[in-house]
Amino acid sequence: MTPGDPEHTESDVNRLLASAAGGDSAAFDQVFRIVYDELRQLARQVRRGRGAATVNTTALVHEAYLRLLPSRTFAWEGRSHFMGVAARAMRQVLVRAAERRSAGKRGGGAVDLSLDDAVHAPLQAPAGSISAEQIIALDAAIERLEALDPRQARVVECRFFAGLSVDETAAALNVSAPTVKRDWRAARAWLARALDG
């Protein structure tokens, strides 16, 4: 079967993740191959933009994979849980890239990330891209939010950094879609205030 093949069911992925948790590294690699196209699509959504990329789509997915490798024997709760953890890995990759870019160019250039207006408008991002400093500030704000409400921080990671839908986020966090919607509204409002301050 090829990566992204519709023959791969949710239960196939969950079975492979259970095998990976038992120490089967080949099973973890197979899960990654199955969801690779989906991860690339999510990475494209996160970093959609124009001009030279700080972290291109393929590099973002591969870097996220490298960050996930130490967790391959983790007790995965299924595909959605895996995708939620992948969202966190993408966040870490993007923040590290922004930090490197900011350090390399004091006053930093814009990281090639675009914010989908429908999802991210309340974060008040400039049209087209977000600067390295803004990514670093957002990451710091998310860390503060995490201390107050860890679930809201996970919702932001899933929606913003991995581009997951409300339903996908709900599945990844094992909560209801209305809970994700409430957390997303509250988190955006809190982050907007934190970033304005």
The dihedral sign for the CA sequence 121, 156, 45, 51: positive
pLDDT one-digit tens code per residue, 117-148: 323 433 433 334 566 777 788 888 999 999 99
Model pTM?
0.68
Residue 175 pLDDT exceeds 80: yes
One-letter amino acid of 49 = G
Whole-angstrom distance, CA of residue 29 vs CA of residue 66: 11
pLDDT 10s digits, 69-98 = 888 888 888 887 888 888 888 888 888 887
Contacts for 76 with CB less than 8 Å, ≥ 6 apart: 14, 17, 18, 20, 21, 82
Cα gap 52→114, rounded to integer Å: 13
Could you identify the residue written with the tokens 């879609």? 177
Write out pLDDT tens, residues 13-64: 889 999 998 889 899 999 988 988 888 877 776 665 433 345 677 888 888 8
